[in-house]
């Protein structure tokens, strides 16, 4: 599974979608310093990738905190 957000001017958004194995939840929050706090939670036994500005991050089952500020 692949998550590749296109947030435009949004600075605080999140949501949950259904998946045959459970729920997928994502959250994107840009703080006052302009740094992003990004997380994705995947169902058990599901892995995937997260793409942000052309860089790919691996996601494991459960909660993932993604450091996109590097």
pTM of the entire structure?
Answer: 0.92
pLDDT tens figures, 35-48: 999 999 999 999 99
> What is the per-residue pLDDT for 30?
98
Split at pLDDT 50, 70, 90, the class of 31 is very high
Burial of 12-44, coded b for 16+ CB within 10 Å and e otherwise, reads eeeeeeeeeeeebebebeeeeeeeeebebbbbe
What percent of the chain lies above the pLDDT cut of 90?
99
Token readout for 30 is 């840009």
């Amino acid at each position: 599974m692949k998550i590749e957000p296109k947030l435009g001017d949004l600075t605080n958004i999140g949501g949950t979608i259904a998946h045959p194995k459970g729920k997928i939840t994502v959250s994107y929050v840009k703080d006052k310093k302009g740094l992003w706090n990004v997380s994705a939670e995947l169902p058990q036994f599901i892995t995937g990738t997260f793409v942000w500005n052309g860089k790919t991050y691996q996601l494991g089952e459960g909660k993932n905190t993604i450091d996109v500020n590097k």
